[in-house]
Each structure stands twice: as structure tokens, then as C-alpha cells.
Chain A
Amino acid sequence: MIAFLSFRILSGLRKNSYLLFFIGLSFMGMAIGTASLLLIMAFMNGAQDMIKKRYAASMPHLLVQPAAGGTLDDTPGTLQRFQALQGVARAERRLTLPALAENWFGDICGTDGTVSTRIPFGRVGDRIRLMLPVLNLTPIGLAPSDLTLEKESDGGAADRIEIPLIRLQQALGLQGKVSDYALYLTDAGRAESLSGRLGALLPPGARVRTFAQLNAPLFLALALEKWLMFAGVGLVLLVSFLQLYQSFSLLVLHHEVTWATLQALGASPRALHGIFSLVALAISLGGGAVGLVIALLLGHWQNTRHILPFPQPLSHLGYVPLVFDRGMTLAVVALLAVFSLMVALPSARKAAALSIPQVLYAPE
């Protein structure tokens, strides 16, 4: 009965242009709101994927570090055991510490893979003097170490000086010491499972951290940004539901006789709530379905024809891919359903509270 009457009330709206206009506005609001929400979320997904891929390409996926800070003893065979693990594309030892030069602050990093001293500022051949947070005992007491390097090549990150590991160990008197082992995997997504298998291979006093753990603050910030956008753009839907609430108030008024007659025939307040809920769900989920189609079509065009390209100075990538995920779509559908039920309840209560005699009987 509830589904049948809801359908008939909805189809009967065609004959009431006044109500149809207001409910049509709500429907359009749902469609536009849903499309905006899904597109924004898809954009955020695409942008986050891009950022994570960039990070995954340039950062180690697993890092074996001293659990209590400081350095690890580079025991013979450790690196080879890491390299022999299935799924590990490359492993290297690193010795990293902060460094200060004139007008520059960053890290100096000695790695196995580095063959020349790469300094991100100055010209090749320049000699650069760095201050390091390693204290040396001098005739006048403890003093920070300094290290003079000759720039052999350009490139590298702006905040990092790269140098062969052995050269840095010798310069600092830290032979046989490393600050971590960096493992690059064939598939960054396997970092979590591989970290579990590393336990038996770890040097004493070492722990392993995954790519996700190392970048947890960044990934958390990205996730927060995404859900804040969801909440912000979700306000469009909220406005549409306020519009629907207004339309339902009109529906109660315009169909007073329908609600009163149904109750006179024995329909319970719960049945009226069911009718309002189904009508609200039909409008919001109908609008949501239109919005979903719009979003998917625009997403398809963006991903295949790049209808919204990135400005070239911003990125070497031509466009941000739109990535839709099922959880996000379900979240939007759930939002629509919850709001629908919230809108339906007060309207159904109003309809159930109508005085049947006053509505159905002309005063004597």
C-alpha cells in the first residue's frame, strides 16, 4: 500500500505545477549536489593518488631504522639479506644528518648508490663548508663538526646534499655506522606485508617503518582535506533537502484531504511516515542517480579527453585523473537516504496531526 500510494502521489504531482516546481528544484539540487560531491571527491582521489605515486617513486618503501635514534651498526651481510628478499627491487645503506651552510639548511645523506657529491646550490667545483650536529672535543671544549665538500655535480632535491656513503662515514669518523637501510620494492603496495617478514632479519635495536607510516601525517592531512571538502560540498545537498522540506510542507497542505481520508480509513501515522519516506527517497535517490550519471560521464570525458587540463607551469602532468570509488558513492547514497528520512519524519507527523473532522467535514 505504502509503495503504491507513494508512487501515485509522486505521479500525481505532474498535475500540480506549483508543487511540481518546488519539488523539481529539490530534485535538481540533489542531482547537482550529488554530481558536485562525486566529482570533487574523484578529483581529490586522483590528486592524492598522484601525490602518493610521486612520493612512492622517490622515497623508500621500507626503512630499517634504529628504534631509539642515533645510528645502527652495519653488520656484514645485512644489506645482502635485505636485497635477497622477494619483492625488494633495491636496498641501500644511508647515513643522514642535518647540515647547515651559508643561506641553506637541509640534510646531508650518504648512500651506497651515490657516486659523486651532488649539492643543490652553487656551481660545480665550488667548495662548500657545512656545519654538522656532531660534537668534537677541541682544546677549547666541545664544538660542532664542520665539513668542507667540493661540488661535483648538480641535481637532487633542493633540501638535500648527496654524497657517497663511504666518503661521509670517513669524514665523520662513523665507519661501520648507518642511520638506516632503505628498501625500494617492486610494488609499493606490498610494503605492509613485507615489513612483517623483515622481523628476523633486523639488526639489533632496529625497527622497520613502512612508506605509509613514514608519511602518516601527510596522508592523514590529505584524507582530512578530502572529507572536509565532502562536508563543504555536502552543504549543497543540505540546501536541497531544506528545499524538499519546504516542498513537503506544501504537500501536506495541498493534500490535506488525502492524508485525512487515509487516516479515516484506518491508515496509521506509521503508514503516513512510510509514504513520506518513500516519496522523499524517490526524489532524492532519483536526483542522486541523475547526479551520479552526470559525474561518471564528466569523469569519463576528463579521463579520456582531458577536458580540464592542468596549467602547464603547475605540473608536467597534463591533467588530474578523476578516480571514483565505491565507498565514496555509497557514502553519498547513505547521506541522501538519511537526509530523506529526516525530511520525511516532521512532514509525516504534520500530516498525522491533522484534525480529520476539520479537514473532511464542512462546518455545520
Chain B
Amino acid sequence: MPPNEPVIRARDLSKVYPAAKAPVTVFSHLSLDVAEGEILGVVGPSGVGKSTLLNILGGLDTPTEGTVEVLGMDLTRLSPAARSAFRKNRIAYVFQFHHLLHELNLEENVALPLLIRGSRLRPSLMEAREALASVGLSDLGSRYPRELSGGEQQRGCLARALTAQPRLLLLDEPTGSLDQATADGVMNVFRELHLKNSWTSIIVTHNVHVSRLCTRILRLGPPA
């Protein structure tokens, strides 16, 4: 990717879902650039396609029309397997409902991005311990997700993102299921990690406190 190129360049994005009566247009002709190191907040009322946009930018979904270039790669031209490979090496997610695998303990969950890349178990777990220490969960590595509080689970997700060493971090309502005090704690950890690791981040949020962390806000409204 040439220097000063945006990390994300989306052009004329539209997303239309087929429906029984008439197709539902979530958004249309949406274009945006996201520069390296930015924290872009995506806000707007429910149903305007904030999460859908995040999924498209992260390669989890495809637009009905338009193109998405992430780190110079046009995701709309990639096969599902190639998009998986792209995600594996460059993108990390923090989901609203954390989605830590309940079969694995926290340490193993945090090591998962490394294991998926083919790293060996023992060194991956060592890296996971370091990541957990960075988010203040070094004592909870052996616990299973169901044994953790919501805030701990979300910090665990941040630790998982940290081990992935992504260029792009996508967060979908990361504090949506947390009380304000816990949410503030999680976002403080996020801010520290973002600065330390030079991530480019996009946060979908309803939370005003969270949106204050963002360097830019993209407001989505209902389609005209």
C-alpha cells in the first residue's frame, strides 16, 4: 500500500436485502475513507446499517454494489476463502456479545488468532498471557467465559484482538451490554492499546462516552 493511502477506501456502497414484499435497502451510495491511526465512530439510530457497514468493511459480508479496498486489497473481488485469509492476517473484531468460545478458557481464546495462523500452542499461550496482562486479566487466564463478568469478557476480546496484531480493529457496540463504569474501564483499555499498537479502528456505538474517544464520527441516517 502506498504511503498516505487510506487504510479503507469504500466507494458507492449499497446493501439491499431481498424480502418477500420488496427489497430492503439498508444504505446506498455510501463512500468513505479511513486513514491510518484513525478511530472512526459510526453512529446512528437502529436499523440504518451500522453493523452491516462494519461487516462489509471487515470482509464478513459483501455489498450489493460498490467496492471496498482495505489495505489496498479490493475485498469485493476476493473469494470467501481468500477473504478468510485476509481477515486472519490483518483484521480483528470485538463483538458486542464478545463471542469467546465457551469450549476454551480465556487464555486459549486469546491465543486463538495465533493458532488459526498456524502458530504452535505453547508459544501462542505465552503471547496470550502477555496480552491478558495488558488488559489487566493476567489472573483469569484459566477461567472459562461463563465464569467471567461482562467487562472481563469484553477485555478478553480486546486481548484476543491484541494477539492478532491487526492493522484494522473493528468494534461493534463493544460496551453495548455493559454498565457505564465497566464500559469506561473497557474503553480506557482500548484507548491505551490503540495508541500503543497504532491500530486503525472503527467503532459502531450508541454510547456517547464511547463516541467521544473517536477522532471522527460517521453519522448514518435512514435511507432517503
Interchain nearest-CB distance for A126 vs B (Å): 86
B96 touches A357 (CB 8 A): no
Interface pair B103/A360, CB less than 8 Å apart: no
Contact with B along A1-21 (1 / 0, CB 8 A): 100110011011000000000
Q: Is A364 touching B50 in the complex (CB atoms < 8 A)? A: yes
> Which chain A residue shows the least CB distance to B26?
A364
- In the complex, the chain B residue whose C-beta lies closest to that of A271 is B116
Check A12–B103 contact: CB distance below 8 A: yes
Indicate if B89 sits at the interface (CB-CB under 8 A). yes
Complex Cα distance A267/B81, Å?
A: 9
Cβ proximity bits A324-359 to B, threshold 8 Å, 1 near / 0 not: 000000000000000000000000000010001100
Chain-A contact segment, one of B64-72, B107-115, B134-142: B107-115
Question: CB distance A362 to B96 under 8 Å?
Answer: yes
Indicate if A196 sits at the interface (CB-CB under 8 A): no
Bound state CA distance, A150 and B79, in angstroms? 93
Q: Which B residues touch A362, using CB under 8 A?
A: 96-97
- Give the size category of B's interface with A: 35 or more
- Tell me if A9 and B96 are in contact (CB < 8 A): no
Question: For this complex, into which size category does the number of interface residues on chain A fall?
Answer: 20 to 34
- A261: which of B50, B96, B99 is its contact (CB, 8 Å)? B99
Check: A265 CB closer than 8 A to any chain B CB. yes
> Which residues on the B side are within 8 Å of A264 (C-beta)?
58, 60, 87, 93, 95, 99
| 0 or 1 for each of B45-73: is its CB under 8 Å from A? (1 = yes) | 01111111001001011000000000000
Set of chain B residues within 8 Å of A1, measured between Cβ atoms: 115-116, 118
Interchain CB contact under 8 A, B108 and A266:
no
Residues of B within 8 A of A360 (CB): 60, 95, 97, 99
Tell me whether B128 is interfacial, beta carbon within 8 Å.
no
Name the distance in Å between A328's Cβ and chain B's nearest Cβ.
37
Contact across chains for A266 and B172 when beta carbons are under 8 A apart: no
Cβ-defined partner of B102 (8 Å) among A12, A266, A352, A361: A12
Is there contact, CB below 8 Å, between B103 and A265?
Answer: no
Contact residues in A for B52 (Cβ distance below 8 Å): 357, 364
* Alpha-carbon distance between A254 and B121 when the two chains are bound, in angstroms: 26
- Residues in chain B near residue A364, CB distance under 8 A: 46-52
Interface flag for A262 (CB, 8 Å):
yes
Which chain B residue has the least Cβ–Cβ distance from A263?
A: B84
A263 CA / B61 CA spacing, docked (Å): 12
Closest Cβ–Cβ distance, residue A5 to chain B (whole Å): 8
Contact B172 A258 (CB under 8 A): no
Contact A361 B84 (CB under 8 A): no
Contact indicator B88/A266 (Cβ below 8 Å): yes
Enumerate B19-61 residues with CB–CB distance to A below 8 Å.
46-52, 55, 58, 60-61
Tell me whether A8 and B51 are in contact in the complex, defined as CB-CB below 8 angstroms, given that A357-B61, A361-B172 are known contacts.
no
Alpha-carbon gap, A267 to B60, bound state (A): 12
CA distance A263 to B84 in the complex (A): 7
- Tell me the minimal C-beta distance from B222 to chain A in angstroms: 12
Inter-chain pairs besides A264-B60, A265-B92, A360-B99, 18 sampled, C-beta below 8 Å? A5-B103, A8-B101, A12-B103, A258-B101, A261-B101, A262-B101, A263-B84, A264-B99, A265-B88, A266-B88, A266-B89, A266-B113, A267-B116, A356-B55, A356-B60, A356-B61, A364-B48, A364-B52
Counting from the closest, the 10 A-B pairs by CB-CB distance are A266-B88, A12-B103, A1-B115, A8-B103, A266-B87, A261-B99, A357-B55, A356-B60, A364-B46, A268-B84
> Can you identify 18 A-B contacts, CB atoms within 8 angstroms?
A1-B115, A1-B116, A1-B118, A4-B115, A4-B121, A5-B115, A260-B99, A261-B99, A263-B84, A265-B88, A265-B164, A266-B85, A356-B55, A356-B61, A357-B60, A357-B61, A360-B99, A362-B97
